[in-house]
Amino acid sequence: MKSYRKELWFEIPRRRAYLNITDQVTACLLESGVQEGLCLVNAMHISASVFINDDESGLHADFERWLEKIAPEKPHAQYDHNRTGEDNADAHLKRTIMGREVVVAVTAGKLDFGPWEQIFYGEFDGLRRKRVLVKIIGE
């Protein structure tokens, strides 16, 4: 069995964003040489997410509005976590809602997606470097 590991690094220039990383993950799969197996894509920070959905700007705006209703960034004082000197409690909650990781089947050397599926990195506390782990195992 083959095993492949790579870190993708991102530095989002604003607090929140949704970045389609499907092409980067596909490049990792090609580099791995795996034809049949599994591909794990994992946000390695507790204020960021990896998820699968459609790459449609209206949907991304809907995510933003919905997440702000559930876990609004401000006022910062509404969160106990922010009493530690942080201001990112909302980012931790958003990450919990949107998920930590995805696993995609690899079939015939390709990511085995359903219609419209793409892999996204969700940043909820940007302005600094963060990484995503891509781990691919298989034959």
Residue 49 and residue 98 in contact, taking contact as beta carbons nearer than 8 Å:
yes
Cβ pair 66, 76 in contact under 8 A: no
The shares of helix, strand and coil residues in the chain, as percent rounded to the nearest 5, are 30, 35, 30
Ranges of each domain in the chain: 2-138
- Of the pLDDT bands very low, low, confident and very high (cuts 50, 70, 90), residue 65 is very high
Does domain 2-138 bear CATH number 2.60.120.460?
Answer: yes
Give the rounded percent of residues in the chain with a pLDDT score beyond 70.
Answer: 100
Count how many Cα atoms sit within 13 Å of the Cα of residue 42 in the half-sphere of its side chain.
Answer: 11
Q: Residues 123-134: what's their mean pLDDT?
A: 97
Mean pLDDT of the chain: 97
How confident is the model at residue 123, as a pLDDT? 98
Tens digit of each residue's pLDDT (9 = 90 or more) over 17-53: 999 999 999 999 999 999 999 999 999 999 999 999 9
- Which spans in 71-123 are helix H? 89-98
